[in-house]
Amino acid sequence: MMPPNMNSSLPTVGLIGLGAMGGGMAASLRRAGFTPHVFDVRAEVAQAFAAEGGHACPDLPSLGAACDVVISVVVNADQTQAVLFGPDGQSGCAAHMKPGSVFVMCSTVDPKVSVDFERRLNALGLHYLDAPISGGAAKAAAGQITMMTSGTDAAYAACAGALEAMAAKVYKLGKQAGAGSKVKIINQLLAGVHIAAAAEAMALGLREGVDPHDLYEVITHSAGNSWMFENRMAHVLAGDYTPLSAVDIFVKDLGLVLDTARSSKFPLPLSSTAHQMFMQASTAGFAREDDSAVIKIFPGIELPPASR
């Protein structure tokens, strides 16, 4: 028997993907009084979450059938397609969701793809919310992420407090899918360019013999600072490239940025350069390392060793 929500007035919420972001979001839902149904391809991760409160679903159809709100926190459009429909159209969650329930798509995808997901789900009698996220693992765990959302009034109504349980800011950007994904792509343009620029600045400092800790201290208290410099260059100083967000994430996301601009012949010279830097890092063997590992493409520098 599936456990009821601690507050019976709340909708039953399912969350798919218990990675760095999804795990924190599921914990935030639980803290807010929901009893999340969760699914992850790593069954042991879902079971460990449920041991603290919640329900681990054995597959996507059972999660879809149980929930009024299904939140997907997977990596990309292909994984979202698989979550929704599976290879046969029936082994995902969409074919088993109750009419009037809502699918909340939190991945960074091409806006046109998000529009198509909405069209396909609406044809099944389901609501869809385009809801990419930002903020990182720590904010996800604290219920403090930013959500860039767009969808119908009915889609928002069907979520009934779940978004606010996970996010400090829920931006409502339009009445149909696509607008949220467009804003997220622009955010990723800035994030990727800022990481690439931060790596370039730190690499120049190392090449010129500047103490990297001194450089970090000065920049983080000066006008040249950015959130990405402060956050990602701390990884470099620690010699820790454990992937919180991997190099290949920005190969994908900056690729989406460029694809979006290409369709209207809009020039993005900085995004193009940053994309090439991440591509170079990926092909050099750093694809699954933290995105700060883009600094490893610069020649003739000695990076700080791993902290003990």
Q: How far is residue 23's CA from residue 5's CA, in Å, rounded to a whole number?
A: 18
Mean of the per-residue pLDDT values for the chain? 96
Pair 24, 105 in one domain = yes
Q: How confident is the model at residue 89 (pLDDT cuts 50, 70, 90)?
A: confident
Phi and psi at residue 65, to the nearest 5°: -70, -30
> Which CATH number goes with the domain that contains 66?
3.40.50.720
Q: Are residues 199 and 282 in the same domain?
A: yes
What is the structure's pLDDT at 3? 43
Question: What pLDDT was estimated at residue 160?
Answer: 82
**Can you give the pLDDT at residue 14?**
98
pLDDT reported for residue 8: 59
Domain endpoint, select from 145, 176, 207? 176
Which tens digits make up the pLDDT trace of 251-276? 999 999 999 999 999 999 999 999 99
- Split into its structural domains, the chain has a count of 2
Q: Does residue 73 fall inside a structural domain? A: yes
**DSSP strands (E only) in the chain:** 13-16, 37-39, 55-56, 69-72, 102-105, 127-130, 133-134, 145-149, 167-172
Q: Indicate whether 37 and 56 sit together in one domain.
A: yes
Together in a domain, 247 and 166:
no
pLDDT at 279 exceeding the cut of 50: yes
User: Per-residue confidence at 152, pLDDT binned at 50, 70, 90?
Assistant: very high
Can you give the pLDDT at residue 4?
A: 43
Residue 166 lies in domain: 13-176
213-233 per-position pLDDT tens digit: 999 999 999 999 999 999 999
Question: Which residue reads 């931060």 in tokens?
Answer: 198
Residue 176: exposure state from Cβ atoms within 10 A (0-12, 13-18, ≥19): middle
Residue corresponding to tokens 């490239």: 241
pLDDT at residue 247 in the model: 98
Is 308 a domain residue?
Answer: no
Of the chain, the end-to-end C-alpha distance in Å amounts to: 47
More confident residue, 208 or 8: 208
Please give the pLDDT value at position 1: 32
Q: Is residue 302 part of a domain?
A: no
Q: What residues does 147 pair with on adjacent strands?
A: 133, 170
- Residue 246's DSSP bridge partners are 290
Rounded CA gap, 266 and 213, in Å? Answer: 39
- Whether 307 maps to a domain, the answer reads no
Confirm whether 70 is domain-assigned.
yes
- Pick the catalytic residue from 139, 184, 252, 296: 184
Helices and strands (DSSP H and E) totals, the chain: 13, 9
- Return the closest-CA partner of residue 233 out of 303, 134, 302, 280: 303
C-alpha distances in angstroms, 289 versus 82, 237, 292? 25, 15, 8
CA distance 189 to 201: 18
H/E element holding 5? none
State which of 176, 195, 227 marks the end of a domain. 176
Residue 5 pLDDT > 90: no
- How would residue 38 be classed by pLDDT, with cut points 50, 70 and 90? very high
Distances (CA, A) of 78 to 39, 56, 82, 212: 17, 23, 6, 40
**53 and 161 housed in the same domain:** yes
Please report whether residue 4 resides in a domain. Answer: no
pLDDT band at 9 (very low <50, low <70, confident <90, very high): confident
Pair (207, 144) in one structural domain: no
Do residues 163 and 289 both lie within one domain? Answer: no
Last residue within a domain, chosen from 176, 196, 225: 176
Residues 58 and 99 in one domain: yes
pTM of the model: 0.92
Q: Does residue 196 sit within a domain?
A: yes
Together in a domain, 186 and 172: no
Q: What is the DSSP letter of 284?
A: I
CA 16 – CA 181 distance, rounded (Å): 19
Same domain as 214, residue 164: no
* 8 A C-beta contact, residue 35 and residue 5: yes
* 102 close to 157: Cβ distance less than 8 angstroms: no
Mean pLDDT score, 37-44: 98
pLDDT surpassing 60 at residue 7: no
Q: Is 7 domain-assigned?
A: no
The pLDDT assigned to 301 comes to: 97
- 164-168: average pLDDT: 97
184 belongs to the catalytic site = yes
Question: What is the CATH classification number for the domain harbouring 237?
Answer: 1.10.1040.10
Q: Are 153 and 172 in contact (CB under 8 A)?
A: no
Provide the percentage of residues in the chain whose pLDDT is more than 70.
Answer: 97
187 and 65 within one domain: no
Residues 84 and 122 placed together within one structural domain of the fold: yes
Q: Are strands 145-149 and 133-134 parallel, antiparallel or unpaired?
A: antiparallel
Q: What is the pLDDT of residues 104-143, one digit of tens each?
A: 999 999 999 999 999 999 999 999 999 999 998 999 999 9
Fill in the amino acid letter for 291. Answer: D
Residues whose CB falls within 8 Å of the CB of residue 152, separated by 6 or more in sequence, listed in order = 127, 175, 176
